[in-house]
Amino acid sequence: MEKLILIVGGNLGDRLALIQNARMQLDKIFGISTTSSSIFETEAWGGMSTGNYLNQVLVFQTDQKPRQILNAIWEIESSCGRERLEKWGDRTMDIDILYFGENIIQEPGLIIPHPHISKRKFVLEPLVEVIPDFIHPILGKNQVQLLEACDDHSKVIKYQKSPE
């Protein structure tokens, strides 16, 4: 079993309901998440997005392979109304694999750990909440250290505590 760490979120539609829907589907596939962050409201980061996002980090234990996980994620995004019209554009749901244990995977269309973790405050804030001491397998720093070194100054506000 590997620790699977995902971030879910979006900026279109009923953002909170879509996170809850995605989480429910993820729980059916991977089992109930072992840990979840609060839900954070964040400014759009990069690309063409215009509205604020809601994001949440979820932690699972799974024996599925990374490609199986990625395919399941794409199906869930699609079921939540995701349309891939432009990179980093507005979306109803986006689910990214942040970490898969301490594994380093670099394949076409699949890079783990996620290559932008250390640059995104909206990712690091919830990671610090749930796995502050987890060491990034490439950068060799824990999540607190990554957040302290992050140059992203966008606004990240706790929207609501995790409904556990």
- Residue ranges covered by each domain of the chain: 2-160
Q: What's the pLDDT score for residue 48?
A: 66
pLDDT of residue 73 exceeding 70, the answer is yes
* Total-model pTM: 0.92
- Angle, to 10 degrees, between the axis of helix 66-79 and the axis of helix 15-30? 140
Mean pLDDT computed over every residue of the chain:
92
Task: Please give the CATH architecture assigned to the domain spanning 2-160.
Answer: 2-Layer Sandwich (3.30)
**In which element (H, E) is residue 71 found?**
helix 66-79
Q: Across the strands, what pairs with 142?
A: 135
At 15-64, the pLDDT tens digits run 999 999 999 999 999 999 999 999 999 988 766 667 899 999 999 999 99
Kindly report the backbone phi and psi dihedral angles of residue 9, in degrees, each rounded to the nearest multiple of 5, phi listed first.
170, 175
Give the confidence band of 151 by pLDDT, cuts at 50, 70, 90.
Answer: very high
Among 18-22, 45-49, 75-79, 150-154, where is mean pLDDT lowest? 45-49
**In which element (H, E) is residue 106 found?**
strand 105-107
pLDDT of residue 88 exceeding 90, the answer is no
Give dist(CA 143, CA 135) in Å, integer.
7
Q: What's the pLDDT score for residue 148?
A: 98
